[in-house]
Amino acid sequence: MKNTLYLILAVLLASFTTPKETITISGKIANTEDGKLRIKGESFEKEITLKPDGSFSETFQIDYSGAYNFATKNNRSSLFLAKGTKLVINADDKNFAASLKYSGAGSTENQYLFEKSTLANKLVGNPQEFYALDENAFLVKVKETKTTLVDFLNKSKITDENFKKNELRSIGYFEQLQLLNYPEYHAHYAKIEGFKPSESFPKFDNKIDLDNEAEFLFSPTYKQIIATKFNNDLFSKLGENEEYTYKLALPEIKKVKSTAIKNAHIQNLAYEVGAGNPDATMLYNEIMALSTDVKFKEGLTTKFNKIKTLTPGNISPKFDYENFKGGKTSLESLKGKYVYIDVWATWCGPCRREIPSLQKVEEQYHGKNIEFVSLSIDTKKDYEKWRKFVEEKKLGGIQLFADNDWNSKFVTEYAIEGIPRFILIDPNGKIVSADAPRPSDPKLVAKFEELGIK
């Protein structure tokens, strides 16, 4: 009887376990900046060290068949991995799009996905112009793009009917995603504040199942719909003066049945585990209990432990970076004055939008007991772009260039995951706020007045 029970238990365990697939990826990625190739999926990460000539060959297990991506430091592309994959990837990182080629088992699907992405980008054109189109022109463009993509799929060399069926649905999701994006994006790019579509504008198809694990693992477009719809619903319920979404998000995340979708929502919410959130400890504990992604939880714990050291009154992490005007400037050299730090980059739209407000505050407090430091985390390849931007925009304050973009020591010690980020430090080098108000927020000047900065 005991042996029979063990046998039944073994069968039950096997029925609830998804076997992992072993695949092989090889090839050559020439001229990479750091000699690394990174493959990422849902709760999956693998880093491959390339040989000096850029060649590589790796055999490893994947957690599921579906959408992944691979990336060098400067380029990235989608990737479809499944049972039997023995994929060969060749590319020149300095001319990535023109040189990327696939061969081997799995190459047909991946070459199709790459060419489809190129075609879709060409059909849509400049995103600013695309979303600035009026309703009728926009809908015509979306319909034409969808039709062309379906035709491209039907003419492809793909023989896997299951892949084609899933891909056809994914193309349909492209249309639905645009319907979700249009109101907000049109308001921004057409510069129409408070824009709302007409009554005749097509509504998002609410029959779409937003808790479908198989679709989520296959279609990057479905993933975007999941994130966009979830965030739109949250922000529609968020109070005018509420900064964080976690009070609304946590109950909704707990309702999600798909493990992959739940983990994705949790990872997005983890950005709110920050130095400025008074409930950071509670949110951290909730997320740790909900997530099943071991690597993510390890990373979040590392971040949380850093955040605990960033409380007001603690000594601030230091910096010593290149100054636009020459030489280097350190935090230590600014002791005796308050220091307001703007961590930004030239490519960051929200960062650029804060510049006029920052310039006004700088002018208001010129000659007073405070220094304004703008710390660029642009990549080294954009160094000249940064210098040109500072010069053309006549940016004031102290303009610094971090030594290793997102991985710069000051940035990682402040657990910065999104920009712009503003930090306020007192004349003794101690933290006043590790997540200070933005220049456009009246709370900033109120804080300066409270501190008696003059």
Which residues does 217 contact at the CB level (< 8 Å), separation at least 6?
42, 64, 65, 66, 67, 260
Query: Which of helix, strand or coil describes residue 24?
Result: strand
Q: What's the CA gap between 96 and 91, in Å, rounded?
A: 6
CA-CA distance, 341 to 82, in Å (whole number)?
Answer: 46
Is-catalytic flag, 348? Answer: yes
How far is CA 392 from its chain centroid?
29
Residue of 62, 113, 273, 351 marked active site: 351
Cβ partners under 8 Å of residue 276, min gap 6: 243, 433, 434, 435
Report CA dihedral (127, 131, 133, 134) to the nearest 10 degrees. Answer: 170
Q: Is 351 labeled as catalytic in the residue annotation?
A: yes
Q: Which H/E stretch holds residue 8?
A: helix 2-15
Q: Which of 348, 432, 451, 453 is catalytic?
A: 348
Helix (H, G, I), strand (E, B) or coil at 416: coil
Helix axes 220-237, 246-255, angle to 10 degrees: 130
3 state SS of 49: strand
* Catalytic annotation, residues: 348, 351
